[in-house]
Structure 1
Amino acid sequence: MTGRRTGARQPLSGRVAVVTGAARGLGACLARALVRRGATVALVGLEAAALERLARSYPGRAYGWSVDVTDRDALAECADDVQRRLGPPSVLVANAGVVAGSPFLQSDPDVWRRVVDVNLVGSAQTVRAFLPGLLATRGYYLQIASLAALTPVPMMSAYCASKAGAEAFAHAVRAEVSPRGVDVGIAYLSWADTDMIHAPVLRELRAHLPWPMGKVYPPQPVADRLVRGVERRATILYGQPWVRAAQVVRAGLPGLATRLFRTAMPVLESRGDLAAPGLIGAGGRADDAARSAARRRKGA
């Protein structure tokens, strides 16, 4: 993807792409789509076994690195190893993310901060590690944001704050690197059908959102759509076409959320079965397990 040539039939052919959060969910779907479009993909995530299974599906085209995106030193080592083994990246997709769901005052402060650390700080550290390679290839960085960056909802304050922060971070980086030939895109997604969105708190939140904001979409078509945007080096990408309209009216969306949940919030807060005590879904459990293992290693 050197320079801005996008006229080739497969502009990603022969290029190296890095995807974080690639062990499962949307990240794995993005990796599959990138391989199908000709790229060699560095799969970065926490779950070594899942990364290895995905890599085995594409021999010679995908390779796994088990790394926590909040570990700056490990990310730097990963970036060096990717470049040594595969070459400098032409595409970076900062996708790694976790979510928690509970009223802010009832949330665990450590869990709340972990969401911000992974989704926002982890994205920044990912860019810090891999941006030198993108500068060498005049490549493309895609930040996975969310509809939550446009329309914050209750029970997800850490996730909404982190995604809005990641959006602002990507805009700032674009202004810095665009003169040097690197393009930056931001992807806005609604609900993709990954395991974490089936947590009780997120199901209940979706039930209070108007159509199509509460609709769930299969992740692979969303990933395919995003990768077509990567090929175009698009500045703004939408996982679902209707999200473009949300961007247009974003100034009014926080007020809409307040009105929608004015009567629902007392009920949601009283539902002890809804508030998740920690990070949600298999990705959250993997994050907890990785941090526990890291603490044991430090204590050994």
Structure 2
Amino acid sequence: MKSYSLNDRVIAITGATGGLGRAAAQALRDKGAKLVLLDLDLDSLSAMAATLGGPDVAAGWVANVRSIESLETALREAAQHFGGIDVVVAGAGVSSVVALEYIDPATFDRVIDINLNGVARTFRAALPHVKARRGYLLAISSMAAFVHSPLNTAYTASKAGVWALCNSLRLELRQHGVGVGSLHPTFFQTPMMEAVIDGPSSTLVWNNHQGIWQFVALEQVVVALVDCIEQRHDLVTVPRSQGLVAQAPGLLRRLIEWIGFDAGKVAEAVRLSGEGKSG
């Protein structure tokens, strides 16, 4: 398949000022793309856009993935600024590591609303633009879509939902020549992961991120993200060696759970996650 050149493509990124968003924006700019940076803080967006080359090649708009109107307005203004939008990367996401028994229902709803509904809203708002250019939609999911860790119910549900959403939407949009992909990295270092590393779950549930739970480099995730767009892939895992896990989740799930999650340690992690939350 011929590579989808990124030179002069207009690429919008939600969650643009986050760890992955910033790194991806720089890598895409290095490929010649023009960038629509979408996030919540205008000052951070403006500063980031300036470092990437200024308004002719990078500009920021405030957009909240919890509001379809916010996304529609931002993308409409961005399309007017750059003359259209070719690619949209739905990268905004949050996490909460706590047992379902103890999680604040509002926190659970927030994770689902940002991680899953936020992707749906982003893609819905992007459709008029990418359809006009036979473009590409990319959702940042996770290996959590296939490997469902304890103390991670909201996050795994949201990321599995993103995977399913992309599979369904791809069928809807193929008549328009629009590609839809999902990127599924394992653990990698971002500010969002710092709280996980500092908490007891890192040791008790994920073996302090050793063995099968070890981190991959942020740079590796960024390379895969760029490749996803250039090749218009349907699904990519990071590392690629975990592709079998994605392709056969039902077959391998119980084996992975047996290898990866010690029952006693998980029970202790559940108890610790509930300290101060029950009663």
TM-score (norm 2): 0.90
For 1:194, the aligned partner's letter is T
Q: How is 1:130-279 mapped onto 2 (pairs within 5 angstroms)?
A: 130-199=126-195, 200-204=199-203, 205-207=205-207, 211=211, 213-256=212-255, 258-259=257-258, 260-271=261-272
CA deviation string 1:82-102 (max 9, x = no partner): 111012211111111000010
What residue number does 2:21 align with?
27
Q: In 2, distance between residues paired with 1:256 and 1:38?
A: 44
CA shift in 2, pair 1:133/1:202, >3 Å: farther
Q: In 1, distance between residues paired with 2:225 and 2:34?
A: 17
CA shift in 2, pair 1:276/1:164, >3 Å: farther
CA shift in 2, pair 1:37/1:183, >3 Å: same
What residue number does 1:54 align with?
48
Which secondary structure state, in structure 2, belongs to the residue aligned with residue 43 of structure 1? strand
CA shift in 2, pair 1:39/1:30, >3 Å: same
Q: In 2, distance between residues paired with 1:222 and 1:151?
A: 18
Which secondary structure state, in structure 2, belongs to the residue aligned with residue 83 of structure 1? helix
For 2:9, the aligned partner's letter is R
For 1:52, the aligned partner's letter is S
Does the 8 A contact of 2:94 with 2:115 survive in 1?
Answer: yes
CA shift in 2, pair 1:5/1:249, >3 Å: closer
Which secondary structure state, in structure 1, belongs to the residue aligned with residue 139 of structure 2? strand
Does the 8 A contact of 2:200 with 2:272 survive in 1?
Answer: no
CA shift in 2, pair 1:275/1:85, >3 Å: farther
CA deviation string 1:36-78 (max 9, x = no partner): 1111010111232322222111123211112110111111111
Q: In 1, distance between residues paired with 2:13 and 2:201?
A: 25
Matched residues, number: 269
Q: In 2, distance between residues paired with 1:19 and 1:33?
A: 12
Gaps of 5+ in 1: 278-300
What residue number does 1:295 align with?
none
Q: In 1, distance between residues paired with 2:180 and 2:6?
A: 16
Q: Choose from 128, 132, 135 the match for 2:124.
A: 128
Q: In 2, distance between residues paired with 1:275 and 1:16?
A: 47
Q: In 2, distance between residues paired with 1:214 and 1:276?
A: 28
CA deviation string 1:113-133 (max 9, x = no partner): 100000000000000101111
Deviation at 1:13, TM superposition (A): 0.6
For 2:265, the aligned partner's letter is A
Q: In 2, distance between residues paired with 1:248 and 1:209?
A: 23
CA shift in 2, pair 1:196/1:166, >3 Å: same
What residue number does 1:38 align with?
32
Which secondary structure state, in structure 1, belongs to the residue aligned with residue 16 of structure 2? coil
Deviation at 1:5, TM superposition (A): 5.4
Deviation at 1:201, TM superposition (A): 4.5
Q: Choose from 6, 10, 18 the match for 2:3.
A: 6
Q: In 1, distance between residues paired with 2:141 and 2:76?
A: 26
Deviation at 1:29, TM superposition (A): 1.3
TM-score (norm 1): 0.84
For 1:50, the aligned partner's letter is S
Gaps of 5+ in 2: none
CA shift in 2, pair 1:232/1:134, >3 Å: same
Structure 1 ranges of 4+ moved more than 6 A: 274-277
What residue number does 2:72 align with?
76
Q: In 1, distance between residues paired with 2:147 and 2:233?
A: 22
CA shift in 2, pair 1:127/1:202, >3 Å: farther
Q: Choose from 76, 81, 103 the match for 1:85.
A: 81
CA deviation string 1:120-156 (max 9, x = no partner): 0000000010111100000011111110000100111
